[in-house]
Structure 1
Amino acid sequence: MRLVLASNNGKKLAELQTLFAPLPLELVTQGALGIGEAEEPHVTFVENALEKARHAAREAKAPAIADDSGLCVDALGGAPGVLSARYATLFGQPRSDADNNRVLLEQLRPHTDRRGRFVCALVAVRSADDPEPLIAFGRWDGEVLAAPRGDSGFGYDPLMWIPSLSASVAELTAADKNRLSHRAIASLQMLAMMREVWRLG
């Protein structure tokens, strides 16, 4: 089955291709099909993922899957949350991983509570009007470091410290991240539902 990924993020595509390898799926990005990005007007990961999946399915006339993920920090009331990818722009700064990380550290400076979690909502639909979307959710708890560590991954990975591993996410191998991450947790749930509900595999 060809499954349209409602994203143009190459690193996210690579992660999901690995995670979904056990099923007979061909993941193709919506950008490769000339489909523009959907609006993300909602305040929750699940609602935005559903919006993106429906948009991709409607435009491609094919099954689609969307990932909406980000970092939620307790001391900031859950921010950056659904605005994780463009957090710096809220403070008049450019949109980039480096600027997002820098702004996050600035916002956390007055706080001693550094707890947070990576969150991932995965939504898959067979069509734009699928009444039974598959919804999976993963959380990966950690603490925000005072300075970046590690060169792997993307986004906030260099700032997210996983105490049980004594490493930042950016210090992990790709294999370890694909085994332990919020996206991995959500993907395992999604694989099980695709097998059960969509009869794949």
Structure 2
Amino acid sequence: MPSSASPRRLAPGRLVLASHNQGKLREVAALVTPYGMEIVSVAALGLPEPAETENSFLGNARIKALAASRGTGLPALADDSGFSVAALGGDPGVRTADWAELPGGGRDYVMAMAKVAALAAPHADRTAWFTCALVLAWPDGHTEGFEGKVHGTWVHPPRGTRGFGYDPMFVPEGATETFGEMDPVAKHAISHRARAFALLAAACLPG
């Protein structure tokens, strides 16, 4: 939900995306460009990723958005999202990316999906969900935060080569395809990111 009773609105112009994830960059750029926003990523600007030390998606998104905004002097948008499995008590959750970390650096999501499946397989409950927190930050420290979720089930082995991260092992409610199999337009219509973005757009983007 917004961090203030009267959300601050963005003017059309440059908006920094506080992410080095190219999949997120593509999805967020597709969402914001119709509102007259020009997306530039922190990766393109050579800015490092700050440590994500909070225990919530909104908390970590706020850290990233504030670091990007203060580092560039521009409004910044950060996304913190993750995959949760009921049988694992909501894990990997805010540690979604950590589960894919390799000892020598980089991330292997095929390995991470196999780990999730191995730990969750003994349980009958296959409920899973994705969460997305979006936070807008301004150089003066003001922030606005929004959160969206999409529920469904996990499957293994992974299916599909579209999307990114854990998409190939998640089937949203009412669908038969995984996010990894879905046409991107179909995914964007129902995804956790789209739901969070709809709240953000209504509150903060140019009308």
How has the CA–CA distance of structure 1 residues 48 and 128 changed in structure 2, closer, same or farther, with 3 Å as cutoff?
A: farther
Deviations 1:56-84 (A, max 9, x none): 01111111010000111111111001111
The answer to whether the aligner puts 1:175 opposite 2:165 as a matched pair is no
> In the alignment, does 2:149 pair up with 1:109?
no
Q: Does 1:15 align with 2:30?
A: no
**Distance in 2 separating the partners of 1:4 and 1:125:** 10
The amino acid of 1:69's aligned partner reads S
Confirm or deny that 1:73 pairs with 2:85: yes
Identity rate of aligned residues, in percent?
38
Match of 1:157 in 2: 167
Helix, strand or coil: the match of 2:58? helix
Select 2:69's aligned residue among 44, 47, 57.
57
Q: After TM superposition, give the deviation of residue 109 of structure 1 in Å.
A: 2.0
Q: CA deviation at 1:146?
A: 2.8
Select the residue among 157, 162, 166 that pairs with 2:176.
166
1:21 Cα offset (Å): 2.6
For residues 78 and 173 of structure 2, the distance between their equivalents in structure 1, rounded to whole angstroms, comes to 29
Deviation at 1:88, TM superposition (A): 4.0
Q: Structure 2 length normalisation: TM-score?
A: 0.88
Shift of 1:128: 5.0
Q: Higher helix proportion, which one?
A: 1
Q: Name structure 1 gaps, 5 residues minimum.
A: none
Map 1:18-29; keep pairs closer than 5 Å. 18-29=30-41
RMSD: 1.9
- 2:97 is aligned with 1:85: yes
Aligned residues: 195
CA positional deviation for 1:55: 0.6
Encode CA deviations 1:108-134: one digit per residue, 9 max, x unaligned.
12211110100000000122511xx21
Q: Per chain length, whose mean CA-contact separation is higher, i.e. which structure has more relative contact order (CA < 8 Å, sep 6+)?
A: 2
